[in-house]
Structure 1
């Protein structure tokens, strides 16, 4: 199920979205004493990061992590880890706890199992913000990868998995569908007409292996709020 939230400009979207997220994090803190949120990377959320970092909530009780990341050094320009540290973990948000997905040199099964156990301390997420590629991939669940069925398995244990896309660079580490769909508040954050076209294509068919975003947009038990601006 989806709810469309359309804005006239990207700055307007960023302001409204940051306000909503801040309220949801604050509500989670008031309810259970802590909150957790996972972000996607790329250029789209940079304005959102700046707006949210200036929200005066109790960031010391918030765990921030990523939906997925490229398996590169955290100083690499393609690192979502670096993107988050340089753009979100500023201002008030410097007090947040950052759970990095790259805490070792080798992306092994044992590493993923250990990291998943550590992530259980803040899972399920209070907020998860997905992005989406032109091919309909979301998180790092790529339709071109041999791991697409593993990533989309509804019956799998919520976990972090390794994905090796064939149409994009780098190995990836990503939360699987089973982990992300449990988020209390699920969002898709996209901008530009081309992404609206991809959403329309995603809603026209239900084969999630061809466009993994379909698994989230068409899930009968979870509402996905789409935040979009031209």
Structure 2
């Protein structure tokens, strides 16, 4: 099975690469172009990325791109509620692999805060995200269960977080894997991005994507909320 065999919704396009390295390079070039265009247009740009292990090569390639990094704001679509020093911290991942070299000049907004509870941390992140003028570039991933960001099927706050017209920007979410406690941007905020890419690799992700395209229950597979016109899917075996 290859993504070229899929019948994608109108306006959704796919880019197929032969290896993860080539995908990372191609995505980094596209993201850099989009950020440069935003800077040229309005003098600044906002990039929202996803964490986990998959984006490391993409981060490394993006950090090498020629950009006016001092005019770029970087933040996360979701975060694990652990300190930045923790091995599972997405903020820590960003600092190790993306905010290096010239890219260290970018401004980073961390969703994590030391708070009494996950709800308080989400409220703090919600206030922080109010500083964003807009999202110029969003790079999403997808889990085998159809989650994206930390919008997990079955999470207690999922229905509210998936409201297309919701006003809250960040929600406390619970993942079925450790660490369970997460912070996630809402569907409404994520969907406001000017450019969105979905980066996936492997046959299992194609199987998940096929299932997502075959139905319309967003709560069952939250990635369905983003399979909309102008989405660009980046895939490799």
TM over 0.5: yes
RMSD, aligned α-carbons: 1.5
CA distance in 1, matches of 2:52, 2:118: 25
> Do structure 1's residue 227 and structure 2's residue 234 form an aligned pair?
yes
The change in CA–CA distance for 1:114 and 1:69 in structure 2 (over 3 A counts) is closer
Partner of residue 89, structure 2: 79
Q: What is the DSSP-based 3-state SS (H/G/I as helix, E as strand, rest coil) of the residue aligned with 1:37?
A: strand
Moved more, 60-69 or 145-154: 145-154
- Aligned 1:1-230 pairs, distance under 5 A: 1=9, 2-166=12-176, 168-217=178-227, 219=228, 222-230=229-237
Deviations 1:114-154 (A, max 9, x none): 43233222242101111111100110010021111111111
After TM superposition, give the deviation of residue 169 of structure 1 in Å. 3.2
Moved more, 93-102 or 6-15: 6-15
1:35/1:122 contact within 8 Å kept: no
After TM superposition, give the deviation of residue 10 of structure 1 in Å. 1.2
The change in CA–CA distance for 1:123 and 1:110 in structure 2 (over 3 A counts) is farther
For this pair of structures, how many residues does the alignment match? 227
1:89/1:96 contact within 8 Å kept: yes
1:158/1:177 contact within 8 Å kept: no
1:14/1:48 contact within 8 Å kept: yes
CA distance in 2, matches of 1:24, 1:128: 10
Using the size of structure 2 for normalisation, the TM-score is 0.91
CA distance in 2, matches of 1:111, 1:45: 25
CA distance in 1, matches of 2:64, 2:130: 28
After TM superposition, give the deviation of residue 188 of structure 1 in Å. 0.7
Give unmatched runs, 5+ long, in structure 1.
none
2:163/2:188 contact within 8 Å kept: yes
Moved more, 167-176 or 14-23: 167-176
Deviations 1:204-223 (A, max 9, x none): 00001111001111x3xx42
Q: What is the DSSP-based 3-state SS (H/G/I as helix, E as strand, rest coil) of the residue aligned with 2:61?
A: helix
Moved more, 41-50 or 114-123: 114-123
Using the size of structure 1 for normalisation, the TM-score is 0.93
